[in-house]
Amino acid sequence: MTTTEDSTPRVDVATASVAVLGGTGDQGRGLARRLALAGNTVYLGSRKLERAQQAAAELVEGESSTIDVRGLDNTAAAAEGDIVIVAVPWDGHRELLQGLVEPLAGKIVVDCVNPLGFDKRGPFPLEVEEGSAAQQAEQILVESRVTAAFHHVSARLLLDPDVDEVELDVLVLGEDRAATDTVRELADRIPGVRGVFGGRLRNAHQVEALTANIIAVNRRYKTHAGIRITGL
Amino acid sequence: MTTTEDSTPRVDVATASVAVLGGTGDQGRGLARRLALAGNTVYLGSRKLERAQQAAAELVEGESSTIDVRGLDNTAAAAEGDIVIVAVPWDGHRELLQGLVEPLAGKIVVDCVNPLGFDKRGPFPLEVEEGSAAQQAEQILVESRVTAAFHHVSARLLLDPDVDEVELDVLVLGEDRAATDTVRELADRIPGVRGVFGGRLRNAHQVEALTANIIAVNRRYKTHAGIRITGL
């Protein structure tokens, strides 16, 4: 898909609402919290409405300032959000997206799923038929503007009230220039985070898989590692 | 292969000689130059002795200080170096290593080969039967201590006399703790560079492939990008 900025709708990240599918997981809650703190309305999606509502309420109650996080089931969240982040477990990725082709049509979708396995030697990347989680999303969501980003965020840091800035560059991948620009701007809204264009979707696999290396770094150095791109 | 520091020979990176196979390529010459400037004797290997000698002479002549770089054919360089860096094109990787099993036995081998393809849409990772170039090396060099590192170095920056410090973390992968520690120390000898343990060899593919993303960054931002690991 080739699009130009002229032919595609502009999304204003300052006023856009953001849906986080799989929003009750650590990564999803962490992103929801930081984007809500940045001023965005966030729709936290989950398979079960009650779980989403409970997680949303806990996030709101945990802040001293007012944030706008609302729990919905994944389908309703996908329909409501101007930008939709996919943060579900890899296990249910394909099935979830197959059921959301219509509500996600025309929207910027941000896939941040890392297909990883774990055994006693640690984490390793899983093979993905389509090449990567992001490419699987692209093949299913034929009417959406699919991007990939936020793979390496540390949920622990995103959720930590004592961490004001998250030292991390978020690689944003995609074919649609305006969409990757928008997602970079969205990443920039989290203090400390910088969105960096990271290539086409066919180069998403290694960005997803690099999470295994970051976990290896975390284990060896007892830290919550991230990456920065030098030379920018 | 499992080894412990007690059962394996210690390599002193301050006095070790370093062979760079495929040393006439940009990446190989860049690493040779920086390690020679750090004080190591470097054996520059090439398929053709004359080309190696010429490249070595050019490196020596290019510096105002004295550096020790000697040109050899790849087999002789592999035999001479205490530590051996493999920087050949992916095309000839397997064949070269199959011919060097004996001279590389017992040695620390550092594979820095990135199996990439290029088409009109840019770079993309090639599929590797063994999983990665590093794992291919591990399967062939059964008597060697195979590590993977130096994938993301910018040859341009390594060769630039105006660049005093190269802002880069080098991810070092391997199963052999003492070997990865030694290679991290070797990386640390290049000003600005820091060696960081990056996981087991089964997680080498994505580190090699990430070079495609770094090339995408370079093209978009007109730079010579590298990576840093945050949280260390």
Look at residue A232 and tell me if it is in a domain.
no
Q: Which backbone phi and psi does B154 adopt, to 5 degrees? A: -90, 115
- What percent of chain A shows pLDDT beyond 70? 96
d(CA B115, CA A179): 29
Q: What is the pLDDT of residue B3?
A: 47
Look at residue B231 and tell me if it is in a domain.
no
Look at residue A227 and tell me if it is in a domain.
no
Residue-wise DSSP of A119-142: ETTEEEEPP-TTSSHHHHHHHH-T
* CATH number of the domain within which B50 lies: 3.40.50.720
Look at residue A230 and tell me if it is in a domain.
no
Inspect the interface and report whether the beta carbons of B225 and A229 lie closer than 8 Å.
yes
Look at residue A228 and tell me if it is in a domain.
no
Q: What is the pLDDT of residue A87?
A: 98
Is the CB of residue A20 less than 8 Å from the CB of residue A196?
Answer: no
Look at residue A61 and tell me if it is in a domain.
yes
pLDDT digits (tens, 9 = 90+) for B91-131: 999 999 999 999 999 999 999 999 999 999 999 999 999 99
pLDDT digits (tens, 9 = 90+) for A65-82: 999 999 999 999 999 999
| Domain membership of residue A49 as a residue range | 2-221
Q: What is the pLDDT of residue B10?
A: 82
- What amino acid occupies position B37? L
Residue A95 pLDDT exceeds 50: yes
Chain A residues whose beta carbon lies within 8 Å of the beta carbon of residue B124: 200, 202-203
Residue A232 pLDDT exceeds 50: yes
Q: What is the pLDDT of residue B202?
A: 98
Number of domains in chain A: 1
Half-sphere exposure of A174 (CA within 13 A, CB side): 31
**Of A227, A222, A230, nearest to A192 (Cα)?**
A227
- Chain A residues with a Cβ under 8 Å from any Cβ in chain B: 121-125, 154, 167-168, 171, 173, 196-200, 202-203, 205-207, 209-210, 212-214, 216-218, 220-221, 223-232
Q: What is the pLDDT of residue A10?
A: 82
Confidence of residue B4 (pLDDT cuts 50, 70, 90): very low
- Per-chain mean pLDDT for chain A: 96
d(CA B31, CA B158): 7
d(CA A164, CA B126): 40
Its ipTM equals 0.94
Q: Which among B171, B212, B223 is the nearest to A232, CB-wise? A: B223
